[in-house]
A and B are shown apart, each in its own frame.
Chain A
Amino acid sequence: MAAASIEDIKLEDITVDDIDFSDLEKQFQVDSEVNFDNFVVVDGAPVAPESKVPVLSKVLGKLFSQAGKVVDINLPLDEAKKTTKGYLFVEFDSALSARKAIKLLNGKKLDAKHRLFVNGLSDVEKFGSDDFESEFRQPKLPEFQATDYLKSWLQDEQGRDQFVLQKGELTGVFWNRNTQQPENAVEPRSNWSNTTVKFSPKGTYLFSFHNQGVASWGGKNFERLRRYFHPQAKAMAISPTEKYLVTLSPDPISVPQDAGEDFPFGPESNGHQLCVWDIATGVSVKTFALPPNQSLHWPMIKWSFDDKYCARLGPNALAVYDAENNFELLGGKILKIENIMDFSFAPAGVKLAVNRNGELSSVLAFWTPESNNQSCKATIMEIPTRRVLRTVNLVQVSDVTLHWQKQAEYLCVKVDRHSKSKKTFFTNLEICKLTEKDVPVEKVEMKDLALKFSWEPTGQRFVTISRTETLDDNPSIPKNVVTFYAPEQKEKTKDDTNDDAKKWKAFATVTGKFSNTISWSPAGRFVIVATLVTPDTRKADFDFYDLDYTGEKNENTEDDVAANLKAVAHPDFYGATDLQWDPSGRFVAVWSSAVKHKLENGYKVFTVTGEVIREEMIENFKNFVWRPRPESLLTNGERKKVRKNLREWSAQFEELDAMQADSAMRELILLRRSLLEEWINYREESTENMRDAYNYEVFDQVEFSTAAEDSEVVEEIKEEILEEKEEVVDSFEEPATSE
């Protein structure tokens, strides 16, 4: 059979697989290396004759190389007119340069007639396609999802506090039940957080760390509220009014090209590491790049007391942002402060003397070290006015720390100074009185270097831990000194007009300690000065002090102060690594965390007087976190009333405690309650019946008559011989009668 002619071969007979397309494939293969992100489309360029093309390319090439390395410029020609078409394509070496070119040159006026429009090639494709809908469509709002009542824990009938315990992989939230086994608030969960968990400052939210970021939890059952996508987030901080969350990740954010609507960051966040979130909505409101070569101070963003402003430290500058205005820089620019070392916001609104209507100001303080011709300075500044309220000049300074009193009435600038020879170190405390006119400063000079400083949360007293300088540097000799300070109480004299000159006075010292931690009860009055286990200290110890001791013998060395010190307890917990007061200031939790060492892991809860009410030694115990509470809503008057009726309240609470102790007791108390009620009803009924039937008033006891005629004074005379003496008289001369 002869070969089939070409006509005989029917197209249908050829199977597609048999054809070798490789040559075609090769010809039309799209170079996968080509990244369209590297291209920009430029519109609005001059229409130039063919002869001018090299010149035009050169000019444009120069212009675009501002953004990055230009790989190629393609100026298409109109074959008919022999001119350029007025648009061109520029290829850059990287997408980053292309983006930069768009940002930099889009809208650039080339000359009076020509304005360049620079767009990414992919954008042109995307937005220029016929499929692209150009009509505005209302974005769909996600349906509102109600959360549990986030403050439900405050409605506990017995007003109990919650705390978190973490052991091994398990994290649980519990109700504090005093001496009894804590009650689960939720079932303990495993791997709730990669590391620790953190409550927001008022206790509304609980945050957990995950690989993908941070999550918030709340409500009665601690359901998940929001996720804050920030991969590898390692640190978090929450603003004072619980509005914003700040997260930090070592991995810079990279925004993928096809980032969907759900992706929290816009392209401007690329490369940023610090992120601010709106806690309630879960929306990223601002991201920041980290300034280069800066040591990490956490928190990196600090907030004013009302969350209206936040600020962060930059090199030789402080950047203050207006949180209510889209986190714009306050006044449009950063604050240039040469060599600024540290700053902090006042933790509360300050009632400045100049604020006549009693409004509260946001205040921040910062310090700068000695430089060429400048002395070391601490500066107090009002925000947003940037008015400097006070500058404190300091000399021979080695370090400065800022300590705000919780009500922000005082700022203590702790100045660690050195002698000229830089051989001895000592501390001065410069206490700024913010509420007084011109912010006067009171100086307290210490002999030694203060390691720790802590204000009483509700008062004007403070405690320091300092180290005595000795030649012997044997670390096993305790050298720390705990000093208690209180404002001097002056005798009220007639000419006592200068009420402002409040002086602080050390009224007691305790020497020979290793103490490294001062922890005040949130309610004030009680303070724990503790030695916690750190790499340098082996054995923890605790000293509980009462500063308003009502007993006879106090441990004051000075009398004219508003304080009566008494060491009330020294409970043992040798392995303790951390401690935290409960929000009410009645209990303090001390624990030994397996994260820090493996000895004696577990926790103990003490009362203010150092009595252990709970004690659990748990292998691999990690963390104990009290749930904070918002500030009390009671007015001062209401508080006073509660204090007045304290006995009545405590009687009721004691009964509740007894009822909780065990169920049998509970039954008994309920029974007694009903018996008592029954009896009272019986007596009331009796009273009524007797009144109705016999006009007779019932009574429970016969008063002793106090009428004088009915009583008689009984006098008892007791004779007692005090001394008996016997004397022998030798001679007895009778008086001469004759004379």
Chain B
Amino acid sequence: MRPILLKGHERSLTQVKFNREGDLIFSCAKDSVASVWYAINGERLGTFEGHQGTIWSIDVDKFTKYTVTGSADFSIKLWDIETGQNVYTWKTKTPVRRVEFSPSGDKFLAVLDGVMGYPGSVTVYELPRDAQTHQLSQEPSEEPLFNIMTQEGFDIAAVAAWSFLDQYIAVGHKDGRVSKYDGATGEFIDALELHTQSVSDVQFSPDGTYFITSSRDSDAKLVDIETLEVLKTYETDCPLNSACITPLKQFVILGGGQDAKDVTTTSSREGKFEARLYHKIFQDEIGRVKGHFGPLNCVAVSPQGTSYASGGEDGFVRLHHFDKSYFDFKYDVEKSFEAQKHMQELESNA
């Protein structure tokens, strides 16, 4: 597996994202310029320039029409991908830690930091779109649709993500808790003390019915959104910054490493700056991908499951197209299960 190095950011990466077709990669970093790249060869397609500070988060809608960025400069910006133009800017009270379009693309959420007396919130904005062209049909409202303010007794939200059909919002808190809210009203539904340290990432399965969390406590967990039942736990030996669920194969990819502030004092070997592949169902580690020389801040996998990208503290995005051995890899148990299934199908066809 030969990685493609996306060199374009001047500072550490904060998030990478694939579009729905998996042919474009969106990345943002602490250098205030977001980038979009061709997934096929790693060529940069363009940049989104306009933020005044670190861009903490980026997302692309399912039509690959707009991208949204959340920045430490107290603003959220909406960009037209085709032109790279800033379409709209929302001012916020605190730095924006995370932005994400809802699956329908009609809304997006923003995680607002709890600083300067603001208790922190997950704020949802609406995007009025034309049903045909998916273009903005009118200027979006500056006012949020609703605010999910940090609940009493909970630490502030660190990350958040949408479930299937915009149904729920799953929020990862700094205290390791995960809470669940109604995606239409923002009403609190349930919470779960999942991790012992801050939740660093929440990413849903392709169909949005279950999600994976990563935490600074070195664990990643797979949780069903409907029941908030913990399905699987993946234990590692280093703080985790990001985790994603691979489509096509039954794996998860976890990224992390020694704390960024200790990076200069550790070698890359000891720093555990590797992407780790675990078997989603059997919870075994099945492989590691080396390359970064700082912790991995974010990992993302293409919705088709054919490639993944990781963004590191080292300022690089490493894009990997999986090769044959990845697709061929199967446990004997899986092979024999598939074989039995195949034979049953033949049997029933006959």
List A residues at the B interface (Cβ < 8 Å).
Answer: 645, 647-649, 651-652, 654-655, 658, 669, 672-673, 675-676, 679, 682, 686, 689-690, 694, 696-705, 710-711, 714, 716
A694 touches B167 (CB 8 A): yes
A649 touches B339 (CB 8 A): yes
CB distance from B60 to the nearest CB of A (A): 13
Partner of A676, one of B210, B333, B343: B333
Chain B residue contacts of A676, Cβ below 8 A: 281-282, 333-334, 337
A704 and B304 in contact (CB under 8 A), knowing A648-B343, A694-B164? yes
Interface presence of B165 (CB below 8 A):
yes
Partner of B336, one of A651, A690, A697, A699: A651
Partner of B206, one of A673, A679, A686, A701: A701
Chain A residue contacts of B224, Cβ below 8 A: 682, 686
Question: Which 3 pairs across A and B sit closest by C-beta, in order of nearness?
Answer: A701-B247, A648-B339, A702-B303
In the bound complex, CA of A647 to CA of B250 (Å): 21
CB distance from B339 to the nearest CB of A (A): 3
B22 touches A699 (CB 8 A): no
In the bound complex, CA of A680 to CA of B343 (Å): 18
Residue of B nearest to A659 (CB): B332
In the bound complex, CA of A701 to CA of B20 (Å): 10
Residue of A nearest to B64 (CB): A710
Interface presence of B346 (CB below 8 A):
yes
In the bound complex, CA of A700 to CA of B247 (Å): 6
Chain B residue contacts of A672, Cβ below 8 A: 281-282, 331, 333
In the bound complex, CA of A24 to CA of B248 (Å): 114
Interface presence of B335 (CB below 8 A):
yes
In the bound complex, CA of A651 to CA of B331 (Å): 10
Residue of B nearest to A653 (CB): B336
Residue of A nearest to B205 (CB): A700
In the bound complex, CA of A729 to CA of B231 (Å): 80
In the bound complex, CA of A699 to CA of B247 (Å): 9
CB distance from A341 to the nearest CB of B (A): 55
Chain A residue contacts of B231, Cβ below 8 A: 679, 682
B21 touches A690 (CB 8 A): no
Chain B residue contacts of A649, Cβ below 8 A: 339
B304 touches A701 (CB 8 A): yes
B248 touches A700 (CB 8 A): yes
In the bound complex, CA of A716 to CA of B42 (Å): 12
Interface presence of B49 (CB below 8 A):
no
In the bound complex, CA of A578 to CA of B231 (Å): 58
Interface presence of B323 (CB below 8 A):
no
0/1 string, B202-241, CB within 8 A of A gives 1: 0001110110000000000000101000010000000000
A716 and B332 in contact (CB under 8 A), knowing A675-B281, A694-B165, A704-B21? no
Which residues 7-27 of B sit at the A interface, judged by CB distance below 8 A? 20-23
A651 touches B282 (CB 8 A): no
A-B contact pairs, 5 of them (CB 8 A): A645-B343, A676-B334, A679-B280, A702-B304, A704-B22
Partner of B209, one of A675, A698, A705: A698
Interface presence of B338 (CB below 8 A):
yes
B281 touches A669 (CB 8 A): no
A701 touches B305 (CB 8 A): yes
In the bound complex, CA of A705 to CA of B336 (Å): 31
Determine chain A's interface SS by DSSP, over half rule.
Answer: helix
0/1 string, B232-272, CB within 8 A of A gives 1: 00000000000000011010000000000000000000000
In the bound complex, CA of A150 to CA of B321 (Å): 58
In the bound complex, CA of A539 to CA of B339 (Å): 46
Chain A residue contacts of B206, Cβ below 8 A: 699-702
CB distance from B99 to the nearest CB of A (A): 21
A679 and B281 in contact (CB under 8 A), knowing A648-B339, A652-B336, A694-B165? yes
Chain B residue contacts of A652, Cβ below 8 A: 335-336, 339-340
A689 touches B207 (CB 8 A): no
CB distance from A600 to the nearest CB of B (A): 37
A690 and B164 in contact (CB under 8 A), knowing A701-B304, A702-B303, A704-B22? yes
B164 touches A696 (CB 8 A): yes
In the bound complex, CA of A648 to CA of B341 (Å): 9
List B residues at the A interface (Cβ < 8 Å).
Answer: 20-23, 38, 40-41, 164-165, 167, 205-207, 209-210, 224, 226, 231, 247-248, 250, 280-283, 303-305, 331-340, 342-343, 346
Residue of B nearest to A689 (CB): B226
A675 touches B40 (CB 8 A): no
CB distance from B154 to the nearest CB of A (A): 27
Residue of B nearest to A673 (CB): B333
A645 and B305 in contact (CB under 8 A), knowing A651-B335, A654-B335, A705-B21? no
Residue of A nearest to B342 (CB): A648
In the bound complex, CA of A700 to CA of B305 (Å): 10
Residue of B nearest to A703 (CB): B304
Chain B residue contacts of A698, Cβ below 8 A: 164, 207, 209
A655 touches B342 (CB 8 A): no
A655 touches B304 (CB 8 A): no
Partner of A655, one of B20, B250, B282, B336: B336
Chain A residue contacts of B334, Cβ below 8 A: 676
In the bound complex, CA of A673 to CA of B337 (Å): 9
A655 touches B21 (CB 8 A): no
B207 touches A716 (CB 8 A): no
A654 touches B207 (CB 8 A): no
Chain B residue contacts of A669, Cβ below 8 A: 332-333
Chain B residue contacts of A711, Cβ below 8 A: 21, 23
Residue of A nearest to B164 (CB): A696
Chain B residue contacts of A679, Cβ below 8 A: 231, 250, 280-281
In the bound complex, CA of A703 to CA of B305 (Å): 9
B165 touches A651 (CB 8 A): no
Chain A residue contacts of B283, Cβ below 8 A: 675
Chain A residue contacts of B338, Cβ below 8 A: 648, 651
Chain A residue contacts of B346, Cβ below 8 A: 645
In the bound complex, CA of A647 to CA of B346 (Å): 14
Residue of A nearest to B38 (CB): A714
Sample of 14 further A-B pairs with CB below 8 A, known A694-B164, A703-B304: A645-B339, A651-B338, A654-B335, A654-B336, A672-B331, A672-B333, A673-B337, A676-B281, A698-B164, A701-B304, A701-B305, A702-B20, A702-B247, A714-B40
Chain B residue contacts of A651, Cβ below 8 A: 332, 335-336, 338-339
B207 touches A655 (CB 8 A): no
In the bound complex, CA of A645 to CA of B339 (Å): 8
Chain B residue contacts of A701, Cβ below 8 A: 206, 247-248, 303-305
CB distance from B145 to the nearest CB of A (A): 21
Partner of B332, one of A654, A675, A696, A703: A654
CB distance from B273 to the nearest CB of A (A): 28
B304 touches A696 (CB 8 A): no
Residue of B nearest to A702 (CB): B303
CB distance from A661 to the nearest CB of B (A): 11
CB distance from B22 to the nearest CB of A (A): 6
In the bound complex, CA of A710 to CA of B283 (Å): 37
In the bound complex, CA of A710 to CA of B23 (Å): 11
CB distance from A635 to the nearest CB of B (A): 14
Chain A residue contacts of B23, Cβ below 8 A: 711
Chain A residue contacts of B331, Cβ below 8 A: 672
Residue among A647, A649, A658, A699 with the highest chain B CB neighbour number at 10 A? A699
Residue of A nearest to B337 (CB): A676
Chain B residue contacts of A700, Cβ below 8 A: 205-207, 247-248
Chain B residue contacts of A645, Cβ below 8 A: 339, 342-343, 346
CB distance from A38 to the nearest CB of B (A): 79
Chain B residue contacts of A689, Cβ below 8 A: 226
In the bound complex, CA of A673 to CA of B338 (Å): 12
Chain B residue contacts of A705, Cβ below 8 A: 21
Chain A residue contacts of B164, Cβ below 8 A: 690, 694, 696, 698
In the bound complex, CA of A645 to CA of B40 (Å): 36
Residue among B210, B250, B281, B304 with the highest chain A CB neighbour number at 10 A? B281
CB distance from B147 to the nearest CB of A (A): 25
Chain A residue contacts of B282, Cβ below 8 A: 672, 675-676
A658 touches B339 (CB 8 A): no
CB distance from B244 to the nearest CB of A (A): 13
Chain B residue contacts of A658, Cβ below 8 A: 332
